[in-house]
A and B are shown apart, each in its own frame.
Chain A
Amino acid sequence: MSSNTRIKEQLIMKRPDSMFEMKNHYCPGCGHGIIHNMLGECIDELGVQENTILVAPVGCAVMAFLYFKMDGCEAPHGRVPAVATGIKRVHPDKIVLAYQGDGDLLAIGMAETIHAANRGENITVIFVNNANYGMTGGQMAPTTLPGQRTKTTPKGRNTSTEGFPIKACELINTLEAPVFIERCSVHNVPNIRKTKRALKKALENQIEKRGYSFVEVLSMCPTNWGMQPVDGTKWLEESMIPAFPLGNFRDRGAE
């Protein structure tokens, strides 16, 4: 008990430096906040905050650029990859992030998504999949699971009239140009850490000018799924992951 062995408190984890100290507008238990924090940490670790431009979608993440201390641009509904392509071609030295939801990327923006991927634009696309249209109140999205009840499919999605969920990673994996495709999830701590690793790889691919990177993140939407936040993580694990298997589909950056 000598006086020079006192302990002090060292801050080891806080809000990322590239994010503002403010409350976000997402519902309690929403996965967007977790993905924002992981993205902020990756940007801090790579030291690219000054050079990054975030293109926000229409959807729940429409205000995403408010939370990051970096430049942002708002794209029309579904046109995030097109706007990001334009920004990247004018500023090839900047890091361009396209942040999209499932209605934005797969319904309205399907053409832009596929063609930006097919051209192999040197951008990073972050696709947040929560199996419905969150901002407008939980309507059916292209990723809604068969039998899942939403506002527009009150008896569950009927595959004979409404079709099957679109698997974005598998779809983009059929194209030649993309260099990095991975699907991850934010329902528990190990998967959040994997998500961060995938986001960092995707950003590194862009910094090294390798080409198009696509990261799909399965996220919770407890408000529109009609459950408590913790039940939402369980539903994601039990229902969404069997339909959207996690894993890396392509990593040409490592080769």
Chain B
Amino acid sequence: MQETISDIKTKSGPKGRPEIDPEICKGCGLCIPSCPKDVLSISKKTNSQGIQFSEYDESGNCIACKNCAITCPERAISIYKFVEEE
């Protein structure tokens, strides 16, 4: 993803992204109501155990608030924040 800093400083652009490990996710869905931007949902795909995992809508407006990672009982979610490169 090659955006410029001007894109993320505008209010519309995403400020970060969650990375969900589908093999660790158990599909409990606790992250979904915790998200203030509603960018998470239960996927139609399944992982190797047949569990429908949580997934991030790539077009979503993640603000890197970390709520989903805090709520996740498995800590299957890592949060990446977009910062300016030196």
Chain A residues packing against B (C-beta within 8 Å)? 1, 4-16, 19, 23-24, 26-34, 37, 188-189, 192-193, 222, 228-230, 233
Contacts and interface: CB of A to CB of B under 8 A. Distances in A.
A12 B33 contact: no
26 contacts: A7-B8, A8-B84, A9-B16, A10-B82, A10-B83, A12-B81, A13-B77, A14-B69, A14-B78, A16-B75, A23-B23, A23-B74, A24-B73, A24-B74, A29-B26, A29-B29, A29-B30, A30-B73, A33-B72, A33-B75, A34-B70, A37-B75, A230-B32, A230-B33, A233-B30, A233-B33
Interface residues of B, number: 39
A33 B73 contact: yes
A23 B24 contact: yes
Contacts of B72: 33-34, 37
Given A6-B5, A9-B17, A11-B79, 16 more contacts: A1-B4, A7-B8, A11-B80, A12-B66, A12-B80, A13-B69, A13-B78, A14-B78, A15-B78, A23-B24, A28-B26, A28-B28, A29-B29, A32-B73, A34-B71, A37-B72
Given A5-B6, A230-B29, A230-B32, A12 B73 contact: no
A21 B19 CA distance: 15
A189 B5 CA distance: 30
Interface of B: 2-8, 16-17, 23-24, 26-30, 32-34, 64, 66-67, 69-75, 77-86
B50 to A, nearest CB: 13
Contacts of B3: 7
A5 B8 CA distance: 11
A8 B70 contact: no
Nearest to A5: B5
Contact of B66 (A13, A24, A230, A233): A13
Main secondary structure of the interface of B (DSSP, over half): mixed
Sort A-B residue pairs by CB-CB distance and give the 7 closest, nearest first. A33-B73, A28-B28, A29-B28, A13-B79, A28-B26, A9-B80, A229-B28
B13 to A, nearest CB: 10
A228 B33 CA distance: 13
Contacts of A31: 73
B81 A9 contact: yes
A188 B28 contact: no
A200 to B, nearest CB: 14
Nearest to A8: B85
A13 B2 CA distance: 22
Contacts of B5: 5-7
